[in-house]
Amino acid sequence: MGKSKNVSVIFLTLFGGIFAIAGISAGMTLLPKALRSGSTEELAVAIILPVVFSLAGFGIIGLGLYSKRRANEKEQLKNRHPNEPWMWKREWAKRRISGGGKTMVVFSWGFALFWNAIGTPPILFNLPSDLSRVKPEFFAMALFPFIGFCLLLWAIHSTIAWRKFGIAFFEPQPLPGVIGGKCKGRIHTSVYIKPEEDITLRLHCVNRVTTSSGSDGSSTQESILWESEKTVSTHQLQMGPKGSSIPVEFTIPMKCRQTNEDNPRNTILWRLTVEAAVPGVDFSKTFEIPVFVTDASSPDVEADEEGVDEIRSMILDPSRLLSTLPKSKVQIENHPDGQLQLWFGPARNKGAATFILLFTIIWTGVVVFLYQSDAPLFMAFLFGFFDLILLFILTALWLGTSRVGIQPGEITLKRGLLGGGKLRTFHTIEVSKIEECIGMQSGNKVFYGIELHLQSGKKLKLGSGIPDKGEVIALIQAIEHAFASR
């Protein structure tokens, strides 16, 4: 561990040193030439490039030194608490887990300024005076300043949120959160918040995997393994001497995985997110919290999903169906003979579908410009391949449908586009189980699906795009009830 830590620090120091030296050298070389030439373009390059490279270099060196200090702290805490991994981080041990804020502001501004300093000047300096002479590839390059503008908006939003809400921290009570038990505590804010509606709390178990991709470096992907959502009414919000206090309580089933950072390339993280709609910029914070199997863990504990009983009663009682289930994207019909029918219509989640549509339009534009420009042809084909994947996803989001019929001992499925597709029938002897699955993810937002597991080992998607976990659990229970009824 010690050798690995030192190697990382040495690598970051050398890597950052290369950037810093390159920046200083560029400044010493380019600035005198630019001053002699009197060219505004050369002067801008002589100032921007050295500053950006130097700041990036010293920033990387500082990150290495900071990482070493935090690693030393963690090593000391591990020696003091060898069997209590939830005490291996300073903020965990102090029961004061920060929700970011200032750190996010610094990161967002640093990233936004770095991106704009690298991506914007080449576009501005190469913009011809006669816009009719602009080549197609120029518009593909123009994506860089567009992204830079979006990053600046993100940095401004982070700054406004930080100035408005200050810091917030989560105080776990007790420490840690218990798998097969409870995750409890309070979120404390440094200012008073007055939500316009109920506060939303989400607890996520996240698997972060970093994979190497040869000469292209590495990529990091996150997938949500489990989540639970709660709402806290405004009258449960307590006011302290300096700010507000929000109660937190989740039940975590034994099937979940505990926090694990032993392998940096494959870690298990737990995140607690709080969101509240307030006038102006909404209140939103995320806390990385410790969740472990402890002596208090019990295999009999099951998650208490909010709203499951209410939704189940809506589904099983046809008289309440139309009046009490207006928000569900799934059309549900209960027939007098006991048959249950579910209709997953097209464009069930227009927000996610619209985002993918806009992204696909931009991506398709890049493919067209690459094809028409002097770029290597394989680049156009490579981007075009991913464009086909986006088009497939887009078609499924806007036009994909699924009709499921359930009656005692029999499930029928017709899945396709706009109500089409082959009708398939499955009987009791073929079915192993029916359970939820995690489908599309957008940040911390998860869309669930319902999977039919067959005895052969094959899995079939009965429906997808369900944004609420309580609803998907209730739908599964309703399906199982109708399938088993006699």
* Chain mean pLDDT for the chain: 81
Q: For residue 408, is it within any domain?
A: yes
Residues 215 and 246 in one domain: yes
Cα gap 159→165, rounded to integer Å:
10
- Decide if 59 contacts 67 (C-beta within 8 A): no
Tens-place pLDDT, residues 337-374: 768 889 999 988 888 888 888 888 878 877 877 777 66
Residue 48 pLDDT exceeds 90: no
Number of domains within the chain: 2
Residues 281 and 315 in one domain: no
Residues 262 and 323 in one domain: no
Residues 215 and 322 in one domain: no
Written as one letter, the residue type at 290 is: P
Give the Å distances, CA to CA, from 200 to 151, 182, 228, 235, 306.
26, 18, 11, 14, 12
Cut 0.75: pTM above it: no
Give the Å distances, CA to CA, from 214 to 4, 109, 219, 380.
21, 30, 11, 21
Specify burial of residue 198 (Cβ count, 10 A radius: 0-12, 13-18, 19+): middle
Written as one letter, the residue type at 252 is: I
Cα gap 253→298, rounded to integer Å:
9
Residues 199 and 344 in one domain: no
Q: What is the mean pLDDT of residues 23-36?
A: 83
pLDDT of 282 reads: 87
Q: For residue 357, is it within any domain?
A: no
Residues 343 and 286 in one domain: no
Which DSSP category does 455 fall into? T
- Decide if 258 contacts 268 (C-beta within 8 A): yes
pLDDT of 186 reads: 94
Q: For residue 28, is it within any domain?
A: no
Give the Å distances, CA to CA, from 87 to 122, 169, 185.
49, 17, 17
State how beta strands 291-292 and 177-178 pair: parallel
Residues 224 and 331 in one domain: no
State how beta strands 291-292 and 283-288 pair: unpaired
End-to-end CA distance of the chain, in Å?
A: 61
Residues 265 and 190 in one domain: yes
469-484 helix and 308-316 helix, angle to the nearest 10 degrees: 40
Cα gap 472→392, rounded to integer Å:
25
Residues 456 and 420 in one domain: yes
Q: What is the mean pLDDT of residues 227-256?
A: 88
Cα gap 319→292, rounded to integer Å:
44
Residues 186 and 241 in one domain: yes
Residues 172 and 264 in one domain: yes
Residue 384 pLDDT exceeds 90: no
Residue 203 pLDDT exceeds 70: yes
* 63 vs 206, residue with greater confidence: 206
Residues 288 and 340 in one domain: no
User: Which range, of 91-100, 321-330, 377-386, averages the lowest pLDDT?
Assistant: 321-330
Radius of gyration of the chain (CA): 27
Q: What is the CATH number of the domain that holds 334?
A: 2.30.29
Residue 314 pLDDT exceeds 70: no
The number of beta carbons lying within 10 Å of the beta carbon of residue 286 is 18
Task: Give 304's pLDDT tier (boundaries 50, 70, 90).
Answer: low
The strands making up 410-417's β-sheet, listed across from edge to edge, are 330-334, 340-344, 400-407, 410-417, 423-427
- In terms of residue numbers, what domain contains 290? 168-298
Question: Cis link prior to 176 (omega < 30° from 0)?
Answer: yes
* Full DSSP string of 198-265: -EEEEEEEEEEEEEE-GGG-EEEEEEEEEEEEEEE-GGG-EE-SSSEEEEEEEEE-TTSPPPB-SSTT
Q: What is the CATH number of the domain that holds 284?
A: 2.60.40.640
pLDDT of 308 reads: 52
Q: For residue 82, is it within any domain?
A: no
Q: For residue 303, is it within any domain?
A: no
